[in-house]
Amino acid sequence: MTRPKEPDIVSRSLARNRLGVPSVVFFGIAGAAPLTVILGAVTTIYAVIGSTAVPVSYFIAAGILMVFTVGFVAMSRHIVNSGAFYSYISHGLGRVAGVGAAFVALPAYAMMQIGLFGLFGVVGSGLLAAAGIHVGWFVCALVAWCVVAVLGLLWVDLSGKVLAVLLVAEIVVVLIYDIVMVANPAGGTVSFDTLSPARMLSPQAAAMLVLAIAGFVGFEATVVLSEEAKDPRRTVSRATHWAVLIPGVLCGGSAWAMSVSTGPAHIVDAAQTEKTNLVFALVAPHIPAILVQVGYVLFLTSVFAALLAFHAAVARYQFALGREGILPGPWGHTHPRTGAPLLGSITQSVLALGVLIAYAITGADPLVYLFAWLTVLGGLGVLILMWSASAAVLAFFLRHRSKENAWRGQIAPGIAFLLLSGVLAATLIGLPDMLQVAPNSPLRWLIPPAYGVIALLGLGWGLITRVARPDVYAAIGRGTEGHLVAPVSPAPRGLSVEPVGARSPFSSAVH
Amino acid sequence: MAALLADQFYLIAHEDQTGRSRLHPRATGLGLAAGLLGELMLLDRVRVYGGELGVVNREPPGDALAHNVLDLLIVQRHHRELRTWLAFLAQDAAIRVGERLLRAGVVEPVTRRRLRGTQTLYMPMNSDQRNAAAWAPVRLANILVEGRAMDIADRVLAGLVLATGLTRHVLWDFSMQRHGLTTLYSVVDSLPSDLRELVEHTEASVGSVLAAGRR
């Protein structure tokens, strides 16, 4: 068709209301808010793992995810419901595998969110203690829980502008702190020791990649907005790459800056004494007090934004699964007027409250056992999903060679699959040591198989669905697009894996 | 075609007392957009196949709004995807259908002050108008529960009710109206394939709009 001479009213009008690259990037890194990862995760990794390979692991993780993103975004253009890993897996590896992936995804994202409550509690109580008010982490976590639960039910995502302002402020503060730390190195010399890739050669260091990757979780959410983006092809692709690159550079750079400021030999000790306070303690002597206070407040808002983003992600996941019939129907219902996925939101809130109470009763350390453990375990689940998704991308483009060029369709997904396989294998071996599980604890051999069992349950449920409810089975992978109205689109030959959305030309058009 | 499809959907999707949308505004917009396209499909002006939309007869329909939409479809015919048209028409469908209802004397304009600027709602004001508006969902429910023969416009309307999530509003009494729910599903299942595709794409658009959670 020749280019139209008439003004393109439709595109122009739709574009006015749609999102550009920055908005999509902000949406993507809301879950992995840089300040949360740098002040919360990086310091905790230094302290708990006791390794100095942290900066390199973030750069390498960012590199792996960039390669993964190439095929991931390419595939998102060809399938419906591109918002969740499990739908890639059902499109690429089959619907039964997709249900298995969905079962893994539910606890994985749920644990990441609940773990963040631990971080919020500790940081909040620390902040209040500095102001002279002494309350435990549990009270602070409970307050955050209440607010998240209510906002989740109202389906109030922090509006794009609020989020953007917070994120930009966070990034500015991080950059200032980094400059201050690098400008005041231990012993007067800036050491690049912790940036040496050779540090990644030990198996334990390779397993640290799962911790780094957990710091990026959320970047995959950008594709949820593909129908809301100005240019579905380019906007989302660019934004997703930015959503990996920005946290990668910031986290890796900051981790390095911390080691410069303490000296590579002392970073682990310093992290163990100061915990999440490490960066503030390092920069406080060199900057005005107000900048430290601003940092504390932004840290808290950043964790809160991450809590809210993950809560929405979990609710959205359950909503998608309810709408396509994998979870019981009520999970697919939304509040009529606000569109909030009610049951998904309530389920996550109840679960989080239960876990928080359990931690409060047992008195376990919230930073190590709630934040670090749950986010690492959740991160492992997300890593399993990413690994399966990379296999799914590869399988999908092997079947549809003509849809993308060789780099996007075969080479990048192939490399991503190999790299993620390596990371996953190293993680499964190194995980118990990373979590510092006692040598005789049953947890040592319980954790990885737990995901296996969940995946098997999912596969079983997928098979049952295939036999018992073929109409629901046929619609698996449609996610939020629902299955109430069975699809009628006559799937062209060769595209039978795609439940819907196979775009065929309108052949009988008469103009 | 007695009553216009989008008009009926408008009356079901808005509260007769306050004029507010019963659904997320974007879901209502998509339902109305589907109603407008459905009207043109029922008039044999437009056909849908494989997710794409094509004009098959350019003869202007009698209704001004339908005429207007058809003109747009013709001028902008390089846009074929049904989902694109649903998204485009959804943006101002509530105002355009509201204005049509105003011309028909079914609603009246009410201007409300908002945080920023004003908003014009189209809602039934006198008792006759209220009765007519409240009757829209009841009429559909009665047909469904009693299992009476439905004309094609009502069957599409039932499909849009299902697709946008108004089922519980129309069939609110689950124990009394359980039979209506069964009828609803079978009515939608038996729609001609292009109209069913319209309903299916409406459901899909509503789902992805709600998941994104933007106004």
Q: Three-state SS across A316-366?
A: HHHHHHHHHCCCCHHHHCCCCCCCCCHHHHHHHHHHHHHHHHHHHHHCCCH
Whether B149 and chain A come into contact, CB under 8 Å, resolves to no
Using a CB-CB cut-off of 8 Å, the residues of chain A touching B162 are: 484-485
Cβ(A363)–Cβ(A356) under 8 Å?
Answer: no
Average pLDDT of every residue of chain B: 89
Residue A23 banded pLDDT, cuts 50, 70, 90: confident
Question: Which among B47, B193, B210 is the nearest to A508, CB-wise?
Answer: B47
Predicted pLDDT at A127: 87
Q: Is the pLDDT of residue A498 over 80?
A: no
Predicted confidence at residue A203, as pLDDT, reads 64
Local confidence band at A497 (pLDDT 50, 70, 90 cut-offs): very low
Residues 8-37 of B with CB under 8 A from A: 20-24, 26-27
**pLDDT(A407) > 80:** yes
Q: What percent of chain B has pLDDT over 90?
A: 60
Look at residue B39 and tell me whether its pLDDT is greater than 90: yes
**Predicted pLDDT of residue A164:** 80
When pLDDT is cut at 50, 70 and 90, the band that residue B197 belongs to is very high
Q: How far apart are CA A223 and CA B3, in angstroms?
A: 40
pLDDT of residue A371 exceeding 50, the answer is yes
CB contact (8 A) between residue A511 and residue B78: no
B 86-115 near A (Cβ less than 8 A): 87-88, 91
Decide if the complex's ipTM is over 0.90: no
pLDDT of the residue at A309: 86
Average pLDDT, chain A: 84
> Under 8 Å CB-to-CB from B135, ≥6 apart: which residues?
none
Chain segment B144-190, per-residue pLDDT in tens: 988 888 999 999 999 999 999 898 888 887 677 788 888 888 898 88
Query: What pLDDT was estimated at residue A274?
Result: 87
Distance CA A360, CA A366 (A): 9
Percentage of chain A exceeding pLDDT 90: 39
Domain-wise residue ranges, chain B? 5-212
Domains of chain A: 17-481 (1.20.1740.10)
Measured in angstroms, the CA of B23 and the nearest CA of chain A are apart by 4
Q: What is the mean pLDDT of residues A296-311?
A: 90
Phi, psi of B208 (to 5 degrees): -75, -30
What per-residue confidence (pLDDT) applies to B169?
87
Distance CA A326, CA A469 (A): 10
Class of domain B5-212: mainly alpha
CB of A254 less than 8 A from some CB of B: no
Q: Are A505 and B50 in contact (CB < 8 Å)?
A: yes
Q: Is residue A233 predicted with pLDDT exceeding 90?
A: no
CB contact under 8 A, A489 and B50: yes
pLDDT score, position A485: 59
Query: Does the structure show a pLDDT above 50 at A495?
Result: no
| E strand or H helix at A212 | helix A209-214
Q: What is the pLDDT of residue A222?
A: 83
pLDDT at residue A470 tops 70 = yes
Record the pTM.
0.84
Interface of B with A in 44-63 (CB under 8 A): 47, 49-56
**Looking at residue A131, what is its pLDDT?**
85
Mean pLDDT of the A109-127 span? 93
Tell which B residues from 162 to 191 touch A, by Cβ distance under 8 Å. Answer: 162-163, 165-166, 168-169, 185, 188-189
**Residue A444 · residue A433 · CB < 8 Å:** no
Q: Which residues contact A509 (CB under 8 A, 6 or more apart)?
A: B52, B54, B55, B56, B80
Q: What confidence score (pLDDT) does residue A106 get?
A: 92
Axis-axis angle for helices B93-103, B64-75 (nearest 10): 150
In this predicted structure, the answer to whether residue A70 has a pLDDT above a threshold of 60 is yes
pLDDT at position A5 is 58
